[in-house]
Amino acid sequence: MIDSAPDLLAHTGHIAQVQGISIGHFTDSRRPTGCTAVLCPEGAVAGVDVRGAAPGTRETDLLHPSNLVQQVHGIMLAGGSAWGLDSATGAVRWLEEQGAGLDIGVGRIPLVPAAVLFDVMMGDMRIRPDAAAGYAACQTAGMQRPAEGSVGAGRGAVIGKVFGHDRAMKGGIGTASFTVDGVTVGAIVACNALGDVYHPYTGQLLAGARTEDGAALLNTRDAVLAGAEPRPVLAGSNTTIGVVATDAQITKAQAHRLAVVAHDGLARAINPVHTMSDGDSLFALGTAQAGKSLGMMTLCTLAAEAVAVATARAILLACAVEIADQPTLPAARDLHS
């Protein structure tokens, strides 16, 4: 029943409740863009699953279960499209200064895979996250609840672009976590989806493509099923990226499976999802600091749940953005108020 559905804004869990994980944002004040550092300086086994057809990523090959490296030391999520991948270099430098990284005898090499989303239509595209931005995000990292909405990697995120950017709405970044028997699984998701975003429990349309007058939600799924023709979309101009983390003891192969199943959370919250114009990518981290595991059935259930809630929170907590010479993009709170 809808009346018994959880209040997503009242959800108190967040990814930094996972032991061994800290989160930091850098939000650029010059235009809507930024980056988000998910740090695990003591190391974590990691996996990744890329479902979108237009991804922008760094060092994902080393996460394959058959490859040598067993642990990473952080994940960088960033705006700025391909240029934003440079923000991971700043995280590598910061982590090296903290003494974190793969011991190679003569020093340490921090391993920081990354994924980016396309936000370069929002203002001056020459302003994008770089190594200095990534370093700054790490400097703010902590284990308190990270800011959500229009911050960090979600600052320039936009959703619901199937019928054009001018009828879209503001995206953002959100987090959630669940704990069972002393083991926590959390997620942080930057939602810049081509599709609409729904309440994962009730199916209520929260935000997305708007009607031609911009005053109400259109419902992309129903419009397409009724024969409405989508506007041409630039490949790679959308993407939902995120990290699922747990303090359970898991193997590298299990981390990969956790990333795979976590995409079920995206499918519960976004429609359409994993399109040819999205670069949807989710990483998974396992810090082992809880000292035990719950079994993969439970971990995967929690992962998908955390991703679904984090995605919806990213939209519910976003704020409208105004840019000179561009249409104002409202947020979910503006249409539901």
> Looking at the domain assignment, is residue 167 inside a domain?
yes
Q: Is the pLDDT of residue 49 over 60?
A: yes
Q: Is the pLDDT of residue 43 over 60?
A: yes
Q: Which residue has the higher pLDDT, 321 or 81?
A: 81
CATH number, domain containing residue 148: 3.60.70.12
> Looking at the domain assignment, is residue 1 inside a domain?
no
79, 117 Cβ separation under 8 angstroms: yes
> Looking at the domain assignment, is residue 223 inside a domain?
yes
What pLDDT shows up at residue 193?
Answer: 95
Range of the domain at 214: 9-336
> Looking at the domain assignment, is residue 273 inside a domain?
yes
**pLDDT one-digit tens code per residue, 165-195:** 889 999 999 999 999 999 999 999 999 999 9
- CA separation for the pair 160, 152 (Å, rounded): 20
pLDDT level of residue 3 (50, 70, 90 thresholds): very low
In the predicted model, what is the mean pLDDT of residues 222-243? 86
Q: What is the pTM of this model?
A: 0.95
What pLDDT shows up at residue 1?
Answer: 31
> Looking at the domain assignment, is residue 3 inside a domain?
no
List of residues 6+ apart from 277 with CB closer than 8 A? 53, 54, 194, 233, 234, 235, 236, 237, 238
Q: Is the pLDDT of residue 2 over 60?
A: no
Q: Is the pLDDT of residue 318 over 50?
A: yes
> Looking at the domain assignment, is residue 311 inside a domain?
yes
Q: Is the pLDDT of residue 66 over 90?
A: yes
